[in-house]
Chain A
């Protein structure tokens, strides 16, 4: 199937420093593409280039085989943007905000009212539609921020960290809404820091760091990268007598992390070595409180691929 958006060899510099370095990716129709990466990875810059808000030096952005930036106004009509900052007129009501932003996409009259009602219902704000935005909680403002972006029923919805700083209940509401939008056929490009969100909603993931795409694929495809490994987490009383080298001598152990009260070991799945691991603890008279074995998580994948945690 033809991708809904195709980005090829995109490059962008700020003051002679390259911030987007020759990235290429496709966005398939109806998928939720999550872009993961630490701060400064280039996620927001990439998104702003797609929306036409930023220029770029080199590359091609196509949708339906047409260069997007040759017909940017037409392309923008198909887009909905949820900016990272809450961009709402606080002295006006939810209804007024949605009506205004939707009208910029050509909606008017009865159609505008119908879409506004639908967007408010979607955000769960119908009963607060006449209230001024400044009276809303943070979570409600975030939901309204999304409602303003979907009222005109865009084909592609771009969401730039839409759940920053809100309570878990509101976040769950938003994530459920995103899944609903996808089921209605919307294509969603979603940037985030939160691994849990990616685990929950993504159909495909793109990992960015330092202006490059370092990995892409479904959750399962990415986990396959490190799928030959499993992670042991062993809680202990103390770790003073333990030595990393003793664990590395055990066949199949790839990575050792000794903290004050626990030890984490990455081990090859193909090698059964739990008995030798336990033996090390016994030899060093270290009491084991609990042992767990985890499947590889996306967090681990990210860490392995970038050498950083998501919140660096």
Chain B
């Protein structure tokens, strides 16, 4: 347990001391939400503003981007060497990759919580009042799944570069389909059906239902699916991570 704590601490230090990653998890989502919100301001009324829409969708998009950070914290060129030194240490190999998932979730949770608070304070984004905690929980689970999925891909592809190329591409597509840039629901049945392929769409729907309908019907299934998928990814990482491939 102590070893896990020490490795986790080191992973957190690596994440929190990287200015580019801090920018990517704080300034970027904040500015993105502001830009989209500002652009679409005229299309919304004062009861539900454009910031209310984009404040949610951009945060979910950012949570998915936790995948990129997880891959970097595991196999970014400068830290891959010392990370893999852990293979020789008397620690279970499971800890080596699992700690990256947890570190990424902690890092992104801290950063995105700060961004959400800032958005609420500056442009009054509605996170559902007392129900905001459920939204926050949903975000954390999205980050967990993204990080676990990315680490699993790293164990398969063995380089952060290849993983990031694939993941960035899919996240952009999911973001488009999921309505991050503009709502897809109103673009016809076919488009709405295709957009349902995007996990971002389901999460956004769940979030809007929590905030505006105080309806938690989708919350439990969403959380359940995210937890199960995360566990599957973590277990697959355990199976697929071979120390031989990294020495």
Q: Is B122 an interface residue (CB 8 A)?
A: no
Flag if A79 contacts B88 (CB, 8 Å): yes
Contact assessment for B244 and A103 in the assembled complex, using a CB-CB cutoff below 8 Å: no
| Mask of B62-84 contacts with A, CB within 8 angstroms, 1/0 | 00000000000000001101101
Q: Are A87 and B81 in contact (CB under 8 A)?
A: yes
A104 touches B6 (CB 8 A): yes
Interface string of B7-41 (1 = CB under 8 A from A): 10010011001100000000000000000000000
- Confirm or deny: A176 has a beta carbon within 8 angstroms of a beta carbon on chain B: no
Most chain A beta-carbon neighbours within 10 Å: one of B7, B84, B87: B87
Q: List 21 A-B contacts (CB under 8 A).
A: A51-B88, A53-B88, A53-B243, A53-B247, A54-B247, A55-B244, A73-B90, A81-B88, A87-B82, A87-B85, A88-B82, A89-B14, A89-B82, A91-B78, A92-B17, A96-B13, A97-B82, A103-B6, A104-B89, A108-B2, A148-B85
Residues of chain B contacted by A54 (CB below 8 angstroms): 243-244, 247
Residue of B nearest to A99 (CB): B6
Number of A-B contacts (CB under 8 A): 66
Q: CA–CA, A49 to B2, complex, Å?
A: 26
Q: A104 with B247: in contact, given A86-B81, A89-B14, A91-B17 (CB under 8 Å)?
A: no
Give A307 Cβ to nearest chain B Cβ, in Å.
29
State in angstroms the CA–CA spacing of A99 and B144 once bound together: 29
CB of B91 closer than 8 Å to a CB of A: yes
Q: With the chains together, A103 CA to B3 CA distance in Å? A: 7
Q: Report whether A92 and B85 are in contact in the complex, using a CB–CB cutoff of 8 Å.
A: no
Chain B: residues with Cβ within 8 Å of the partner, total of 25
Chain A residues near B85 (CB, 8 Å)?
A: 81, 83, 87, 101, 148
A86 and B14 alpha carbons, distance in the complex (Å): 17
Give chain A interface residues in 91-129, CB to chain B under 8 Å. Answer: 91-92, 96-97, 100-101, 103-106, 108
Interface residues of A (CB under 8 A from B): 48, 51-55, 73-74, 76-77, 79, 81, 83, 85-92, 96-97, 100-101, 103-106, 108, 148
- B17 contacts A87, C-beta separation under 8 Å: no
Chain B min CB distance to A112 (Å): 10
A158 CB to nearest chain B CB (Å): 9
Is B123 interfacial (CB 8 A cutoff)? no
Q: How far is the CA of A103 from the CA of B95 in the complex (A)?
A: 15
Let me know if A89 and B243 touch, CB within 8 A. Answer: no
Complex-state Cα separation, A73 to B79, whole angstroms: 24
- How far is the CB of A135 from the nearest CB of chain B, in Å? 14
Asked if B81 and A85 sit within 8 Å, CB to CB, the answer is yes
